[in-house]
Amino acid sequence: MFEIDHLGIAVKSLAQARTFYQNLGMKVMPEETVAQEKVRLAMVPVGDSRIELLEPLSEDSPIAKFLAKRGEGLHHVSLRVDNLQGTVENLKKSGVRLINDQIQVGAGGHLYVFVHPSSAGGVLLELCEERPKGV
């Protein structure tokens, strides 16, 4: 089963983005840091999905590079899958290009991998799975 987990939005200022969504009357979750991606983020629940606000922690982070090239805006679409490991294995067998070959642990302990836009119709696609309890 696939569902939209979240939409990742690159922002220059997480504080300004938080204020915007709070002014809309939306709840913004506490900030988290994902060290390997060099990013600080906050999730905004929207129904069964979320908006992920992404602020770079350094000039060499993927989000900083995205902002320098494209400016603020939609960075990626994330799909929740039931079996991330099996999905990744099938993609690799099919020749799909992945950004990172290994499954990573991200915000909230979710497992994730990014599919390169060249294999996903020009969209950076994140595939994620909720991390099993106790792991």
**pLDDT tens, residue by residue, 20-56:** 999 999 999 999 999 989 999 999 999 999 999 999 9
pLDDT higher than threshold 90 for residue 14: yes
**pLDDT tens, residue by residue, 80-134:** 999 999 999 999 999 999 998 899 998 888 899 999 999 999 999 999 998 655 4
Topology of domain 3-129, CATH: 2,3-Dihydroxybiphenyl 1,2-Dioxygenase; domain 1 (3.10.180)
d(CA 134, CA 72): 36
Show me where the domains of the chain are located.
3-129
The pTM assigned to this predicted structure is 0.90
DSSP class of 35: G
**95 burial class (0-12, 13-18, 19+ CB within 10 angstroms)?**
exposed
